[in-house]
Structure 1
Amino acid sequence: MSDAYQAINWNLIEDQVDKATWEKLTEQFWLDTRIPLSNDLDDWRKMMAEEHQLVGHVFGGLTLLDTLQSQNGMSSLKTNVRTQHETAVLNNIEFMESVHAKSYSSIFETLNTAQEIDEIFAWTQADEHLQFKAQKINDVYHNGSPLQKKVASVFLETFLFYSGFYTPLYYLGHNKLNNVAEIIKLILRDESVHGTYIGYKFQLGFNELEENQQSELKDWLYSFLLELYENEEHFTHTLYDPVGWTESVLTFIRYNANKALMNLGQDPLFPDGADDVNPVVMNGISTTTSNHDFFSQVGNGYRLGQVEAMENQDYLYGLNDTK
């Protein structure tokens, strides 16, 4: 029967990267309910009003982008896959993006009043720069080519999230909001795998294009990145000018924009490297997380196995041998 429905067979793997990623993501599974966020309340009460607003808006923005990724991003990528196993991996990513979005609400519930939470979510709908990047990414998800959709996904997860990630990593480096930061580090570990995997799938398709098609796609890719970065500059000034962190955050953003390009197999655009990033934040960006005592603080130690996020080189072999 030519139209017979095909069952997914995990004993016959077309691309070993699909299997490796599935195993990595399932080993890394976590839920926000296991992190004792209330232990951060003493830190929270000592922080200034400007810091409270920054944290609320940062996590509000991340909630919006994770919502976009879970509701629209992965479903758009699933319309063009190479293998059934790739669909399974994207299903996993889609679910974890929902976990990420919910995690921020757990933070709000712990740290903020009901009135403050209402203000945060109203702000996410009203802020022009946050809405700009969400709408730009969403437009590609709805109207872009399959490879453009992968670019948008990698730019979102490896670049645009990081203006928000800076704040909890900065506080972690100053021994504040440690349990909030634990959630962020778990999210960072997931995003590292997501960006690397989708970037790898992009590279497979990109390498199959004719030279003129590659050139045209690269022109679009870099133009899109610059458009997003220009908006991100404005967004960062809005968030961080009140606390004086703007220039340091912009360096961090440019560094991660380069990482996004590397995930896509493209050359870095900005001069910023790891040595230029605030070392306190750079130390926090390590995707290993704390192992807390089960009866006091529960970090990722409750997981069945200790795993690290995938690095770029974990997938490089796949470009030469995908079978």
Structure 2
Amino acid sequence: MVKLNRATVLEPSNPNKSTALFNGDASGILHWDNVAYPHFYELRKTIRALFWTANEVNMVADTKQFAQLSEKERTAFLKIIGLLATLDAPQTDIASKIAAFSTDPSVKSILATIADQESEHNHSYTYVLASVTNYDNQIASFNEGRTDKVLLERNERIAAIYNEFAADPTIQTALKAMVYSSLLEGLFFYSGFAFFYNLARNQKMVGTSTMISYINRDELHHGRFISELFRATLTENPEYNNDEFIEWVYNQFRHSVEQETRWSRYVLDGIDGINLDDMEGYVKYRANKMLRMLGLSEIYEGYEKNPMKWIKAYADNFNGTKSDFFEQKSRQYTKTSDLNGFDDL
């Protein structure tokens, strides 16, 4: 195992352009016209252009509507917010931990922005719950990740992988953490996102769903950067690009799809407007997309297209102007490439 050394902050005797993503030499001085991976600059510009804060979203209508939801919808709402908070909270930390060991200052810069955005995601869940329900329900929702048996089992492996990297930082544990960060950003949220988008298409909880669309957009771009970092790290460390490790990645995707499907059937059963078989197909479709982004082959035959087309109406098209739901304001966002089907959720 190649142990990772914590990167120095400033070492003027080293070159400005890092000699490696991890365990390389670099001065710590960031000159964007002199970096090892120039395309990271375009990714950085896109991610920086995503800035928003939870307080921008008007929750007045949601405050009135929450009590009018069905009991199943309110229960699902609180459980899913609990899930999202459980997943987003460690993302700030894992981005910072990976950055601490990267010797490439461009990676540190991008991960710092990602960490900040993940922090705002977590804040947004507090903001949503404070807007629609009482303090006791807020506490219960945020405790779901510690107490709900299905949710605990669902998140068991990601916790183990993240904690393994924190305790024993190596090239291999860093690669594994990147795989799970990619899964988290590109797969684990999506049954929850679908729930809120389904409410929105029935003109319920539009403020919450607007906020979720912002988070969704961020996560897609975070996932893209992590997948690029994963591929570059494998290229620099080809000894890990072997059949054993790649099969491990495929097994994690299979396990994650099983857990996400089980969770969706647990939390979305009985929710009007969501077909659970379509939801399972959507999860497999998302898994195929994430595998392609990581440079790997699809493993779910017949799930090359999104079986839940209606979701596209509630998420960014990544192609210029974004119109938010219904009465929400329009915003201009930086144009991004359509690589990897970013215009098709």
Same structural fold, with TM-score higher than 0.5 when normalized by the shorter chain: yes
Output the amino acid matched with 2:333: Q
Q: Secondary structure at the match of 1:243?
A: coil
Contact (CA 8 Å) 2:314, 2:325: kept in 1 or not? no
Partners of 1:236 and 1:309 lie apart in 2 by 31
Partners of 2:205 and 2:282 lie apart in 1 by 20
Aligned counterpart for 2:71 among listed residues 37, 44, 49: 49
The verdict on how the C-alpha distance between 1:130 and 1:43 changes in structure 2, with shifts beyond 3 A counting, is same
Aligned counterpart for 2:179 among listed residues 151, 154, 169: 151
Deviation at 1:165, TM superposition (A): 0.8
Q: Do residues 255 (structure 1) and 276 (structure 2) align? A: no
Q: Do residues 140 (structure 1) and 170 (structure 2) align? A: no
Q: Give 2:40's aligned residue.
A: 18
* Per-residue deviation, residues 111-143 of structure 1 (Å, max 9, x unmatched): 112222122123221112322343311322232
* Per-residue deviation, residues 146-189 of structure 1 (Å, max 9, x unmatched): 22221111011101111211111112222222221111111111
What percent of counterpart residues are identical? 20
Partners of 1:79 and 1:172 lie apart in 2 by 40
Output the amino acid matched with 2:299: L
Q: Do residues 264 (structure 1) and 291 (structure 2) align? A: no
Contact (CA 8 Å) 1:141, 1:149: kept in 2 or not? yes
Deviation at 1:33, TM superposition (A): 0.5
Output the amino acid matched with 1:240: L
* Per-residue deviation, residues 238-260 of structure 1 (Å, max 9, x unmatched): 20124264323222222211121
Structure 1 residues 99-138: aligned runs within 5 Å: 99-138=120-159
Deviation at 1:77, TM superposition (A): 2.2
Q: Give 2:251's aligned residue.
A: 223
* Per-residue deviation, residues 273-313 of structure 1 (Å, max 9, x unmatched): 465522322432344543589xxx66463xxx522565435
Deviation at 1:101, TM superposition (A): 0.8
Q: Which has the higher contact order (CA 8 A, sep 6+)?
A: 1
Backbone CA RMSD of aligned residues: 2.7
The verdict on how the C-alpha distance between 1:280 and 1:314 changes in structure 2, with shifts beyond 3 A counting, is closer
Aligned counterpart for 1:78 among listed residues 88, 99, 120: 99
TM-score (norm 2): 0.80
Contact (CA 8 Å) 2:292, 2:298: kept in 1 or not? yes
Deviation at 1:97, TM superposition (A): 0.5
Contact (CA 8 Å) 1:37, 1:110: kept in 2 or not? yes
Contact (CA 8 Å) 1:251, 1:272: kept in 2 or not? no
Deviation at 1:24, TM superposition (A): 1.1
Aligned counterpart for 2:91 among listed residues 69, 83, 104: 69
Partners of 1:212 and 1:21 lie apart in 2 by 25
Contact (CA 8 Å) 1:129, 1:232: kept in 2 or not? no
Contact (CA 8 Å) 1:108, 1:117: kept in 2 or not? yes
Q: Secondary structure at the match of 2:323?
A: coil
Partners of 1:309 and 1:272 lie apart in 2 by 28
Deviation at 1:205, TM superposition (A): 2.6
Contact (CA 8 Å) 2:32, 2:38: kept in 1 or not? no
Structure 1 residues 27-38: aligned runs within 5 Å: 27-38=49-60
Deviation at 1:13, TM superposition (A): 3.0
Partners of 1:36 and 1:49 lie apart in 2 by 24
Q: Give 2:268's aligned residue.
A: 240
Aligned counterpart for 1:306 among listed residues 325, 330, 333: 333
Output the amino acid matched with 1:39: A
User: How many matched pairs?
Assistant: 308
Partners of 1:185 and 1:207 lie apart in 2 by 33
The verdict on how the C-alpha distance between 1:21 and 1:276 changes in structure 2, with shifts beyond 3 A counting, is closer
Contact (CA 8 Å) 1:50, 1:242: kept in 2 or not? yes
* Per-residue deviation, residues 20-58 of structure 1 (Å, max 9, x unmatched): 122112211000101101222343333211101111111
Q: Secondary structure at the match of 2:102?
A: coil
Partners of 1:187 and 1:212 lie apart in 2 by 32
